[in-house]
Amino acid sequence: MRKLDRLVVVGASLAGLRAAQTLRDEGYTGDLTLVGAEPHLPYNRPPLSKSLLTGDDDVALPGSDQLDARWLIGRNAVGLDTARQAITLDDGAQVPYDGLVITTGARPRRLDDSDMSLTGVHLLRTFDDAMNLRKALREGPRRVAVIGGGIIGGEVSSTLRALGIEVVLIDAAPAPMAGPLGETVGEWLAEHHTRNGVELVSGVRVESLKGDGHVSAVRLSDGRSLPADLVIVGLGVLPNTEWLDGSGLHLDDGVLTDSALFARGHANIVAAGDVARWPHGVFDDEYVRIEHWANANEQAPSPPATSSAARRTPSRSPRCIPWAHACTAPASSGPAFPEPPTRWWRSQVPLKRRSSPSASDEAGSSSRRRGQLAQGTHQTAPRHRRTSTAGHCNRGLTHTLPLGRSAPPGAPAVGIPAI
Ligand SMILES: Cc1cc2nc3c(=O)[nH]c(=O)nc-3n(C[C@H](O)[C@H](O)[C@H](O)COP(=O)(O)OP(=O)(O)OC[C@H]3O[C@@H](n4cnc5c(N)ncnc54)[C@H](O)[C@@H]3O)c2cc1C
């Protein structure tokens, strides 16, 4: 087996944190470095379109402070040299590695620069995006236009209605999410939004935004112009792979990997989470990229268990990284299909649920923790276990925020601004 002393994770979010935790759980004692573009320790994104906008600051994703790791936070990887086994950071610094984990996720699609440069136009991917949006919402917009009837657009529209804000939801499809989920569900969603007071404008595209400095209206392809003094763009995401251009990795709507999540042709590089595209056993080994919390949460700890190929032929899985035994997970551990989160999206792919004997334990410990929080006696969060996905989702919502707490060595502390 190749000796690994320096493991680098690029992308310090959910999948990156889970990969790093797993490495330590499985006994890796060498250097571990996490590089993250955002100025925050890993946090949970699902609350950003929901509870955070209504005033609940909890986006906790416990565990960062228990990792013995070097955090290069607020730093972008801009290049990868696989021959020299080094990553280049935005300031030219080189980070050598023996094993590399790519978890750089995805970023939102944008409108044209001329539209995006108007004030009052928001994207929603990061904690900072959500806090900016929350601040803008508290300034009392008269009418918000949400562009895109997908999951983010739909969620944000519902959240805004809960805040009593007037919303127009503009979607190119005949009904929201009719593409991925079919007409029946699309029509149900359309009715749901309409009943909820959302003005739904379907089957039409956005041409451009109007405004003199600040956005004032959305111009549609059918010639209409809808007034709005705040716009939220929810047009889907693109995988963050540009920093890998020229590296020799196979890039095609994500990092292409084998069924064990090893970057094709590279025995010491893996990818996981929103950025990875791999042959999925459930879909007859068709290449898929899944943009869901549960996938990023489960995939990094046990990448190949989600693929039928790895289950069928475990001995084919490479054994070159410290989580090799997870790569060749024996059948006795059961098929580890990702389990959908309980409070967030139910999964949009046909997932099998693992039986979860620990569910009641989770519920019990969760309410105990809430009690501790109320009494101010809450201690450090328990370490993540990958067998308790459903509970973990809720657990994230009940923990204290990792941001602003004492950060691990090398990581800047980031506080929640009071808005
Ligand atoms: C508002 C919102 C709500 C959501 N709600 C749900 C939900 O309810 N249910 C659900 O299942 N999923 C939800 N999701 C999706 C879920 O959050 C993602 O699937 C998950 O975050 C993916 O994790 P990841 O670690 O793969 O990628 P990401 O979370 O995207 O993290 C990638 C990290 O890598 C960093 N990075 C990128 N490029 C570089 C670089 N070159 N150098 C260094 N760092 C880099 C990024 O800044 C980012 O911090 C939601 C997403 C959003 C935005």
Average confidence score pLDDT of the chain: 78
Q: What percent of the chain has pLDDT over 90?
A: 68
Out of 3.40.50.800, 3.40.190.10, 3.50.50.60, 3.20.20.70, the CATH code matching 1-108+237-419 is 3.50.50.60
pLDDT of 327 strictly over 70: no
* C-alpha 237 to ligand 1 mean position (Å): 10
* C-alpha 223 to ligand 1 mean position (Å): 35
21-38 burial: b if 16+ Cβ within 10 Å, else e:
bbbbbeebeebbbbbbbb
Q: What is the 3-state secondary structure (H, E, C) of 346-357?
A: CCCCCCCCCCCC
pLDDT of 339 strictly over 80: no
35 CB within 6 A, ligand 1:
yes
C-alpha dihedral over 168, 169, 173, 177, to 10 degrees? -150
> Please, which residues have CB within 8 angstroms of residue 202's CB and are 6 or more apart in sequence?
149, 171, 173, 174, 175, 176, 190
Question: Which residue intervals of 111-229 are DSSP H helices?
Answer: 113-116, 127-138, 151-162, 178-181, 183-195
pLDDT of 86 strictly over 60: yes
**Torsions phi, psi of 231, nearest 5?**
-125, 135
Sorted by where each begins, the domain ranges of the chain are 1-108+237-419, 110-235
Query: What letter does residue 415 receive in the DSSP assignment?
Result: P
Domain 1-108+237-419 and domain 110-235, same fold? Reply is yes
125 CB within 6 A, ligand 1:
yes
**Count of residues in the chain:** 419
Contact present, 105 and 275 (Cβ < 8 Å): yes
pLDDT of 118 strictly over 90: yes
108 CB within 6 A, ligand 1:
no
* C-alpha 360 to ligand 1 mean position (Å): 29
pLDDT of 346 strictly over 80: no
* C-alpha 201 to ligand 1 mean position (Å): 28
For domain 110-235, the CATH class is alpha beta
Point out the ligand 1 atom lying closest to the alpha carbon of residue 75. 43
Tokens encoding 118: 């108007």
Query: Token pair 């499809």 is at which residue?
Result: 173
Q: What is the 3-state secondary structure (H, E, C) of 259-325?
A: CCCEECCCCCEEECHHHEEEEEHHHCCEEECCCCHHHHHHHCCCHHHHCHHHHHCHHHCCCCCCCHH
10 CB within 6 A, ligand 1:
yes
Per-residue confidence band for 282, with pLDDT thresholds at 50, 70 and 90? confident
Farthest CA pair distance, the chain: 64
Per-residue confidence band for 412, with pLDDT thresholds at 50, 70 and 90? very low
Bridge partners (DSSP) listed for residue 31: 6
> Please, which residues have CB within 8 angstroms of residue 195's CB and are 6 or more apart in sequence?
none
69 CB within 6 A, ligand 1:
no
For ligand 1, atom 41, the nearest C-alpha belongs to 77
Q: Alpha carbon of 39 to those of 13, 104, 171: distances in Å?
A: 11, 14, 33
Pocket test for ligand 1, best of 10, 45, 131 (most atoms within 8 A of CB): 45
- The model's pLDDT over 216-239, given as tens digits with 9 standing for 90+, comes to 999 999 999 999 999 999 999 999
Point out the ligand 1 atom lying closest to the alpha carbon of residue 276. 26
* C-alpha 8 to ligand 1 mean position (Å): 18
Point out the ligand 1 atom lying closest to the alpha carbon of residue 76. 42
Per-residue confidence band for 2, with pLDDT thresholds at 50, 70 and 90? low
Measured CA to CA, the distance from residue 388 to residue 339 in angstroms comes to: 9
